[in-house]
A and B are shown apart, each in its own frame.
Chain A
Amino acid sequence: MSKGLPDTRTDAAMSELVPEPRPKPAVPMKPVSINSNLLGYIGIDTIIEQMRKKTMKTGFDFNIMVVGQSGLGKSTLVNTLFKSQVSRKASSWNREEKIPKTVEIKAIGHVIEEGGVKMKLTVIDTPGFGDQINNENCWEPIEKYINEQYEKFLKEEVNIARKKRIPDTRVHCCLYFISPTGHSLRPLDLEFMKHLSKVVNIIPVIAKADTMTLEEKSEFKQRVRKELEVNGIEFYPQKEFDEDLEDKTENDKIRQESMPFAVVGSDKEYQVNGKRVLGRKTPWGIIEVENLNHCEFALLRDFVIRTHLQDLKEVTHNIHYETYRAKRLNDNGGLPPGEGLLGSVLPPVPATPCPTAE
């Protein structure tokens, strides 16, 4: 779909002649498109309803990955985000598992429904990340997993007889948990984010934020932001993918003020002021998870789920996946890059993970 109109926010009466680039029609004709003044109601805007109905019928899928050292509250946060027991810890019976020797990737899928909208949510957990003594290259299994999902999708897409709806297992969003040391980012954090920000949307999150006071929190956040910038790490929402001015101002505000979100997770409810709220009970008070004065969980939830969910999926599909695909079709095949059906055929998968795109 092309960007139809230059500006949808002015009045309906437009009178510019906009020449359109036409993709070689069989009979080359005068390429003129005019903005017509409508003399009455046609009903074009009903397409919105039609589209909405269709998408509700087919359902959505969303794959979120959580990465961080063990004990940072990843599983609890995911449970809090989706208000149900969707994490790995909840699904397995054994609540006290041993820390694995290598990074494992565990994906668990659930179907949740709200307001007629069905969503297949897959939570991908990475136990063992950053927990060994020698953590070199511990991001490699994760990168491999992400690329494997792209590969699966690509294979389906290249098939002659394609499925009507290709199952989407690609990772749409990766929450990276930063330990609340109060000082700065660890080398492991920087390395991980540097490698993975090029293949997946990374949202850095400061975990267990109830260990910091307000001033400590804001200083830490500033320092983290600075460090990320200095190291050239583009976290979601990436600056280069802002589509128009409105997006840019909105995203700038998020990037420069709110991120990284300092969150607290909890799946226990307590009574506060006559209301039942999710919180953590401590001798000195109850930390309300959804209270904006206490922590930024509500901001994270609104950001990821209520406003940018679709955008996360689109950036993954239109940018990260396309980058992977382009690299894949170019690499190791001796094939000429560019157009032509021959360019569509896949060369063998390289033994090492694909070099991440620039």
Chain B
Amino acid sequence: MEAEANSGSPEDSWAFFQRPGEGCRTVPLAGHVGFDSLPDQLVNKSVSQGFCFNILCVGETGLGKSTLMDTLFNTKFEGEPATHTQPGVQLRSNTYDLQESNVGLKLTIVSTVGFGDQINKEDSYKPIVEFIDAQFEAYLQEELKIRRVLHTYHDSRIHACLYFIAPTGHSLKSLDLVTMKKLDSKVNIIPIIAKSDAISKSELTKFKIKITSELVSNGVQIYQFPTDDESVAEINGTMNAHLPFAVIGSTEELKIGNKMMKARQYPWGTVQVENEAHCDFVKLREMLIRVNMEDLREQTHSRHYELYRRCKLEEMGFKDTDPDSKPFSLQETYEAKRNEFLGELQKKEEEMRQMFVQRVKEKEAELKEAEKELHEKFDRLKKLHQDEKKKLEDKKKSLDDEVNAFKQRKTAAELLQSQGSQAGGSQTLKRDKEKKNFF
């Protein structure tokens, strides 16, 4: 039962324990309670669940990204080298299950393919940024679900980004600066100088200084190893000064002295990968894996992911405080949005209704027109019909008259004929004459 103060603890954790108004006082323990096993309990649980770690390697084709990953994790990951003829930048990602003693690690390595090979590299950084954002988005979506399973969720967010710098010996390329600037607020960037056996020692120091000053002057935030925990502050502090690390990767083993070591053989000598005088590979491995893996994961979650989440939610229109800096609850924002939405809906409904009414009116008018026309036509036809009827009747009448007249004449003629036959034959002439006259 020790009340030994942890002198290296930052303000944060103490302030947490002394919240005002709660009367929290430190109470001494009269015996061994046993909750000092709590970190072990926590760790055991995590071990049984397994850890995951995601590394993104960004760099031009041929800088040795895959080889470095192989060397770092002491194993041969699969994959063939990419060609230089890729039309655009793509990301290739692979997941591996590694096991060491009782710790299982799900390692995901994402590599850029075709970075820096195009003629026009303006959009080269875009696929990378989109990929990182997509992982954040996936996590955010899972977090916002109603039924979510966060504790078994496979975390695919990128925890560390190794940026491979070409060993020109002069300065950073503008493509590097632009890409790093775009990535620095989204991921922990660790810049490394690749294939550093191409640079001599003196050139290397100058190169490192130039790179660091360029990064600072352009405001690029690279990952700083944390120096607040006293047990690692010292080593992290010295390592921070060695950034960017100059590394060499090799999976070939050569016999040097009486040990098998990873090395690269040249006619003028052998470069040993794990020799600190030859390159910074050991430092990189220490920093990346053995000292700061957990911190990288935490920074990704608490800084980069929170930033992304905040921007995304603000984009959607949710706020925490309004312009008068009075805290809003999401509740009020929601109500406001909802009313807005309902209002819009109502407006649309009104519009549609009006449009409908108008259409109906138009159609009605049209139909009325048509009806009128039909009536007119009908009237016209009727009139026509009557006219014709009348005409026909007239004609009939006249014909009838003629027929009657003819009949009368016929009877008159017959009468005359019968009289004439009595009066002699002269009447026949008369009759003939009359007949002729008649016709």
A residues whose Cβ falls under 8 Å from a Cβ of B:
1-5, 8, 12, 14, 18, 20-27, 29-48, 50-60, 62, 81-86, 91, 108-120, 155, 158-162, 164-165, 167, 243-244, 301-302, 305-311, 314, 317-318, 322, 325-326, 329-330, 337-341, 343-348
A-binding residues in B (CB < 8 A):
1-4, 6, 9-10, 12-13, 16-17, 19, 22-43, 45-52, 72-78, 90-106, 127, 130-131, 134-135, 138, 141, 144-148, 150-156, 229, 231, 285-286, 289-295, 298, 302, 306, 309-310, 313-314, 316, 318-320, 329-331, 333-334
Which of B9, B41, B231, B316 is close to A310, meaning CB atoms less than 8 Å apart?
A: B41
Find B50's partner among A5, A22, A115 (CB 8 Å cutoff).
A5
CB distance from B95 to the nearest CB of A (A): 4
Residue of A nearest to B341 (CB): A342
Contact B285 A43 (CB under 8 A): yes
Minimum C-beta distance from B181 to chain A (A): 20
* A34 nearest CB neighbor, chain B only: B96
Q: Which of A52, A83, A162, A345 interacts with B43 by CB under 8 Å? A: A52
Q: How far apart sit A2 and B53, CA to CA, in the bound complex (Å)?
A: 11
Do the beta carbons of B39 and A338 come within 8 Å of each other?
A: no
Query: Which chain B residues lie closer than 8 Å to A26 at the CB level?
Result: 91, 127, 130-131, 134
A2 adjacent to B33 (CB under 8 Å): no
Main secondary structure of the interface of B (DSSP, over half): mixed
Does the CB pair B151–A117 fall under 8 Å?
no
Determine the chain B residues whose CB is within 8 A of the CB of A112 once the complex forms: 26-27, 29, 33, 35
- Flag if B97 contacts A111 (CB, 8 Å): no
Could you list 16 A-B pairs, sorted by A, with CB under 8 Å?
A1-B50, A8-B47, A20-B154, A25-B93, A26-B91, A36-B77, A44-B98, A44-B289, A50-B292, A52-B40, A57-B9, A83-B31, A114-B32, A119-B38, A305-B37, A345-B318
Q: How far is the CA of A48 from the CA of B92 in the complex (A)?
A: 29
Which residues of the partner chain B approach A44 to less than 8 Å between Cβ atoms? 98, 100, 103, 105, 289, 293
Could you say which of A3, A118, A167, A305 contacts B33, with CB atoms under 8 Å apart?
Answer: A305
Which one of B10, B39, B92 lies within 8 Å of A52 (CB-CB)? Answer: B39
**Are A322 and B294 in contact, with the CB atoms below 8 A?**
no
How many angstroms from the CA of A160 to the CA of B92 in the assembled complex?
33
C-alpha gap A164/B100 in the complex (Å) = 31
Picked from A18, A46, A53, A345, the residue with its CB within 8 Å of the CB of B334 is A345
Given the contacts A35-B97, A113-B2, A8 and B31 also touching, CB distance less than 8 Å: no
Since A5-B104, A44-B103, A309-B41 are in contact, a sample of 4 more A-B pairs with Cβ atoms closer than 8 Å, ordered by chain A residue number, is: A26-B131, A43-B100, A167-B16, A341-B316
Check B145–A114 contact: CB distance below 8 A: no
Contact B154 A2 (CB under 8 A): yes
Q: Which residue of B lies closest to A327 (CB)?
A: B146
Q: Tell which of B43, B75, B148 touches A322, judged by Cβ atoms closer than 8 Å.
A: B148
Known: A22-B95, A27-B91. A51 touches B146 (CB 8 A): no
Partner of A4, one of B6, B50, B141, B320: B50
Distance (whole angstroms) from the CB of B153 to the closest CB of chain A: 7
Q: Once the chains bind, are A343 and B145 in contact (CB under 8 Å)?
A: yes
How far is B314's CA from A322's CA once the two chains are assembled, in angstroms?
Answer: 25
A114 and B39 contact, CB distance less than 8 A: no
Interface centre among A1, A21, A29, A43 (most CB of B within 10 A): A1
Chain B residues with CB under 8 Å of A307's CB are 37, 41
Q: A112-B26, A113-B3, A314-B45 are in contact. Are A47 and B103 (CB under 8 A)?
A: yes
Q: In the bound complex, do residue A345 and residue B333 qualify as a contact, i.e. CB atoms below 8 Å apart?
A: yes
Looking at the assembled complex, report how far the CB atom of A102 sits from the nearest CB atom of chain B, in whole angstroms: 23
Contact A118 B13 (CB under 8 A): yes
Chain B residues, CB < 8 A from A48 = 43, 46-47, 103
Q: Are B13 and A58 in contact (CB under 8 A)?
A: yes
Interchain CA distance A162-B318 in the complex, whole Å: 13
Do A346 and B330 touch (CB < 8 A)? yes
* B30 pairs with A83, CB closer than 8 A: yes
Instruction: Please determine whether A117 and B38 come into contact, CB atoms closer than 8 angstroms.
Output: yes
Tell me the bound Cα distance from A8 to B329 in angstroms: 46
Chain A residue nearest in CB terms to B152: A2
A318 to B150, CA, bound (A): 8
Closest chain B residue to A36 by CB distance? Answer: B75
Q: Given known contacts A329-B146, A345-B334, is B316 in contact with A24 (CB within 8 Å)? A: no
- Decide if A35 touches B156 in the complex (CB within 8 Å): no
Question: Which 8 A-B pairs rank lowest in CB-CB distance, beginning with the nearest?
Answer: A4-B50, A115-B36, A4-B104, A50-B294, A310-B41, A26-B131, A33-B95, A43-B290
B24 lies within 8 A of A45 (CB): no
CB A271 to nearest CB in B, in angstroms, measures 15
Q: Is the CB of A117 within 8 A of B39?
A: yes
Partner of A23, one of B138, B151, B318: B138
Contact across chains for B302 and A4 when beta carbons are under 8 A apart: no
> Once the chains bind, are B146 and A111 in contact (CB under 8 Å)?
no
Determine the chain A residues whose CB is within 8 A of the CB of B3 once the complex forms: 113
Q: How far is the CB of A111 from chain B (nearest CB, A)?
A: 5
Q: How far is the CA of A3 from the CA of B102 in the complex (A)?
A: 13
B contact residues around A310 at 8 Å (CB) = 38, 41-42, 45
Task: Provide the residues of chain B in CB contact with A23, threshold 8 Å.
Answer: 135, 138, 154, 156
CB neighbours of B52 from chain A (8 A): 1-2, 4
Query: Does the CB pair B25–A340 fall under 8 Å?
Result: no
* B99 contact from A12, A50, A58, Cβ within 8 A: A12
* Chain A: CB-nearest residue to B18: A111
- Docked-complex contact A116 and B49, CB < 8 angstroms: no
With the chains together, A154 CA to B271 CA distance in Å?
A: 56
A3 touching B26, Cβ below 8 Å: no
Contact present for B96 and A8 (CB under 8 Å): no
Residue of A47, A165, A346, A347 most packed against chain B (CB within 10 A) = A47
Nearest residue (CB) in B for A345 is B334
Nearest-neighbour CB distance to chain A for B218, whole angstroms, equals 26
Neighbouring A residues of B155 by C-beta, 8 Å = 1-2
Cβ contact within 8 Å between B2 and A115: yes
Residues B91 and A25 in contact, CB atoms below 8 Å apart: yes
Contact of B39 among A1, A56, A113, A158 (CB under 8 A): A56
Across the interface, which residues of A come within 8 angstroms of B314, CB to CB? 160
Q: Roughly how many angstroms separate A334 CA and B49 CA in the complex, as a whole number?
A: 37
Q: Given the complex of chains A and B, what is the CA–CA distance between A91 and B24 in angstroms?
A: 11
Of the listed residues B27, B30, B78, the one surrounded by the most CB atoms of chain A closer than 10 A to its CB is: B27
Contact A110 B145 (CB under 8 A): no
> Hey, which chain B residues are within 8 Å of A330, CB to CB?
146
B contact residues around A108 at 8 Å (CB): 23
* Contact residue among B4, B40, B102, B302 (Cβ-Cβ distance under 8 Å from A8): B102
Asked if residues A39 and B16 are in contact (CB atoms below 8 Å), the reply is no
B25 touches A119 (CB 8 A): no
